Amino acid sequence: MNKKLSFVSKLCFGIGAFGKDAVYAIVGTYLMMYLTDYRSVAPAFVGTLFMVARIWDAFNDPFMGMIVDNTRSKWGKFRPWILIGTILNAVVLVLLFANNGLEGKSYLIWCSVFYILWGMTYTIMDIPYWSLVPALTDDEDERSQISAIPRIFASCAWLVINSFGLLLVSRFGNGDDVKGFSILAIIIAVVFIFASIVTVLTCKEQIVTESAEKTSVKGMIDVLFKNDQVKVILGIALFFNIAYQLSNSFALYYFKYVAERTYKTEGNGVLYPVYAAVAGFAQMGSMAVLPFLSKKIGKKISFFCASFFPVIGFALLWVLGYVAPTNVILVGVCSAIINSGIGFMLVFITVILSEVVDYGEYKLGTRNESILFSMQTFVVKFAGAFSGFVSGVGLTLIGYVANQKQTEGAEMGMRVIMFLIPAVLSGLCYLIYVKGYKLTPSYYATMRQELHKRKGISEEA
C-alpha cells in the first residue's frame, strides 16, 4: 500500500513548519543576546535558565507524546493539539519579548516564567506536528519528500528571521530595540497562527492504527526502551542538534566580536547577515536535492555528506578567521558547505525517526508516533538548552564583556565554541549511524511487507 499525498497537501504541511520555526528562530537566535545585550541579564544566569527549563522539559515532553497518542477525536490524534499548542505558544512568545518596563529581579522572574512556559507550549504543538509525518504515508520516497518540504519551509523561516531580524528590530523600534523585538514577536505570532491553521485544515492522517487500549506510563517506557533503534536516532539527533544550535546561537557573537571587531575599529554588521542568508539558501537547496541524491548514491554515502560537510566548513571558517576574516565571499562559501550538510541531516533525522516508528510497530505491535517524536522535541530543546548553557557559562569563563573589544583568550574561546565543538559532534553522528542503525532499505522493505501482511493490506492497494 503506497499512501500518497497531493502536492497541495505537502505544501500546506510545509507552511506549518514556516510558522513554528519562525517562532523557534527568534528565540533560538536572538533571545540570549536580547537578554544579555539589551536587557542586561548576566550571561551565566541566562545559560542556567536555559538548562533548567530543558530539564523540566525532560519530564513533560514524553508525557505530552503519550497524551497525543491517547487522543481520539474526529480530527484525529494530532491536529487538535497542533492548533491548541500554536495559540498558547504564540501568546507566550509575545509575553516573553514584551516591552514591559520591568528591571532587576522582577524582570528575571518574568523572563524565567515565560521562557519555561514557552518551552512547554511549544511542545504541545511541535510533537503532534512532526508525528503527522509517518501518519501521512508509509512510502519511503513519499516520506523523503514530505520530510524535506517542511524542512525547506523551516529553513526559509530561519533565513528570513536570521537575515532580517535585527534590521526589522531597528526599523520597528526606531531607536528602541526592546520595543522593536516586541513588535517583531507579535508579527511572528500572527504568522504562526495563520500557518498552523493552514496545516490543520488541509493535512489529514492516512496511516491509522486504532487501539481500544490507551498507552499507559509503563507502555510509554516500553516504547522508549524496548525499541533498540530509539537510542540510535536519539544519539544522532542529540549530537547534531547540540552542534547545530551551538554554532547557530554563537554566530552572532563570533562575527560581531571576533571576525569584525578584531580587524576593524567597528564592525559594519554585514558578515552575520551574509552567513545567515547563505545558510538558509544552502539548507533549502540541500533539502530539495536529498531525496534524489539518496536514491542515486545511497543513504549511507548521503549520510556521510550530512555529517562531514559541516566538519569541512567549520575547519575552513576557522582558518579564514586568521587569513581573511572579513572576506564576505569566502564567509558565504564556508556557510554554504556547513549548511548543506545541516540541511541533509535535518531531513535524515525526520525520515529515520519515521522508520523507527514503523520498526516499533513491527517489533512491539503498537504504533506510537507522538511518544517517539516527543523525544525528538525533547532532544532539540535540550540541545538548545545545553548550547545556551555552554554559551552563557562559556562567555563568562572566557572573559566576555558585552559591547567591548574582547581579549585574545576570549576570542580563542569563541572560536572553540563556534567551530571545534560542533565539528567534533557532527563527525560523531556518522559514527553512531554506521555502528548502530540497522534499518537498511532492504530490511525496511521486508519489515513494511510484514506490517501490511498483518493488517491484511496488499502492496498494490
pLDDT at 87 (0 to 100): 97
The Cα 124–Cα 82 span in angstroms is 7
| 218 or 447, which is more confident | 447
Distance from the first to the final alpha carbon of the chain: 5
The 10s digit of each residue's pLDDT in 57-67 is 767 777 888 88
Q: Which range among 44-48, 133-137, 427-431 shows the weakest confidence by mean pLDDT?
A: 133-137
Residue 1: pLDDT band with limits 50, 70, 90: very low
| 389 or 83, which is more confident | 83
Give the residue among 361, 369, 457, 353 at the shortest CA–CA distance from 143: 353
The Cα 425–Cα 70 span in angstroms is 35
- No. of helices (H) and no. of strands (E), the chain: 16, 0
Which bin fits 101, alpha (ψ -120 to 50), beta or left (φ > 0)? left
Residue 134 CB: number of other CB atoms within 10 A? 27
Residue 184: pLDDT band with limits 50, 70, 90: very high
* CA atoms within 13 A of residue 12's CA, in its CB half-sphere: 17
The Cα 413–Cα 159 span in angstroms is 27
Beta carbons of 205 and 1 less than 8 angstroms apart: no
pLDDT at 403 (0 to 100): 73
Residues for the chain: how many in total?
Answer: 461
Task: Give the residue-averaged pLDDT of 361-373.
Answer: 77
The 10s digit of each residue's pLDDT in 284-293 is 899 889 888 8
Contacts (Cβ under 8 Å, ≥6 apart) of 355: 229, 439, 444
What is the per-residue burial (b if ≥16 Cβ within 10 Å, else e) of 7-28? eebbebbbbbbbbbbbbbbbbb
pLDDT at 265 (0 to 100): 40
pLDDT at 133 (0 to 100): 79
Which of 210-219, 373-382, 415-424 reaches the highest mean pLDDT?
415-424
The Cα 73–Cα 80 span in angstroms is 8
The 10s digit of each residue's pLDDT in 388-409 is 777 777 888 888 877 778 888 8
pLDDT at 457 (0 to 100): 64
Beta carbons of 170 and 177 less than 8 angstroms apart: yes
3-state SS assignment for residue 459: coil
How far, CA to CA in Å, does 439 sit from each of 56, 107, 207, 300, 433? 32, 49, 20, 11, 10
Which of 133-137, 295-299, 434-438 reaches the highest mean pLDDT?
434-438
Task: Give the residue-averaged pLDDT of 342-356.
Answer: 89
Considering the chain, what percentage of its residues have pLDDT values greater than 90? 39
Beta carbons of 111 and 96 less than 8 angstroms apart: yes
Tell whether the model's pLDDT for residue 214 goes beyond 90.
no
Q: What is the largest CA-CA distance in the chain?
A: 72
The 10s digit of each residue's pLDDT in 261-274 is 655 444 456 888 88
